[in-house]
Homo-oligomer: A and B are copies of this chain.
Amino acid sequence: MNSEFGLIARYFTRPAPAGFLGVGDDCAMFPVAPGHHLATSTDLLIEGRHFFSDVDPAALGHKSLAVNLSDLAAMGAQPLACLLSLSLPQIDDDWLQGFADGFYALAEASGCPLIGGDTTRSSGGIVISVTVMGQVRPEHALRRGAARVGDDIWVTGTLGAADIALRLLQDRLPPNPSLLAATRPALERPSPPWRLAQQLAGVAHAALDISDGLAQDLGHILLASDCGAELVYNALPIAEALHGLDDALLQDAVLSGGDVYQLCFTAAADARSRIEALAHDASVLATRVGAIVAQPGLRVMGPDSAIIMLDHAGFDHFS
């Protein structure tokens, strides 16, 4: 480690929970509960590619962890710990303090303590690598291949806002400050339902997190589970700020907009009241949006009962 980066220790070293070994040895260590497997995922975020250079550092710290927590949620795993590696072109104390504040706030809220990582000087832009580790009983894990014909399809939270915010920030839509203000939190501070997700393990069947758009992501479940799906467009939980938008734009944002970091999951019809109760207890919106069917492919029943055609990149192998 470059000596000047020693000062980063100031921002990223907080006491580890009891029973954990955190920063300061060759490895971090922590226990995994009996009967559980370790679940892990990692994401690499590159300045200019995954985030804007001028993004609020606290929001970036939050999102860096949130996108990884979203992967744990998609397995029904309980967060245990995370690692953070940062490559920075220079030391900027305000930036570091903001990033650390945003990261730690979510780490503490989600019970996912930061226990290790690496820091280095970058020759280019900022690079952020986060690894999360959680635990889940393997027989309860929400695997992509576990959907069954007749399952309900559920979505948590709302759809479309992050995509509209991204379009506004990239000038792909005419300037609209009030719409940007209403949608930007969905893009910059996604809030994956990690508490509900743990409760769904053993209750739901298949799950994944919506990162590339509902249609494309649901397609991964259909492929892995060798089945099809019918979605009811009017049942989809559209973010409130989007009401009144042009129909074609709205439909595209809701079905194909990414960066959602909410869950799409399937569950048997007899689990409905259980799921509604769990979602209520976790203060998470959970909406039934369709059903798993035997016929391969994804069909979306539009507002006028016509089938919406989907031709987005990555989706053509389902058509």
Q: Which of B28, B47, B207 contacts A39 (CB 8 A)?
A: B28
With known contacts A120-B50, A129-B129, A138–B75 Cβ distance under 8 A: no
A24 to B225, CA, bound (A): 12
8 Å CB contacts to B: which residues of A77-120? 77, 81, 83, 85-87, 115-120
Identity of the chain B residue whose Cβ is nearest the Cβ of A47 in the assembled complex: B123
Stretch at the interface among A30-38, A57-65, A161-169: A30-38
22 CB contacts below 8 A, A to B, read A3-B314, A24-B144, A25-B224, A26-B74, A26-B144, A27-B39, A27-B75, A27-B77, A27-B134, A29-B39, A29-B40, A29-B136, A38-B38, A41-B116, A42-B129, A42-B131, A43-B118, A44-B86, A44-B87, A44-B118, A46-B121, A50-B120
Whether B85 contacts A42 by the Cβ 8 Å rule is: yes
- How many A residues touch B, CB cutoff 8 Å? 62
Number of copies: 2
A residues with CB within 8 A of B: 3, 21, 24-32, 34, 37-44, 46-50, 71-72, 74-75, 77, 81, 83, 85-87, 115-125, 127, 129, 131, 133-134, 136, 138, 141, 143-144, 207-209, 224, 313-314
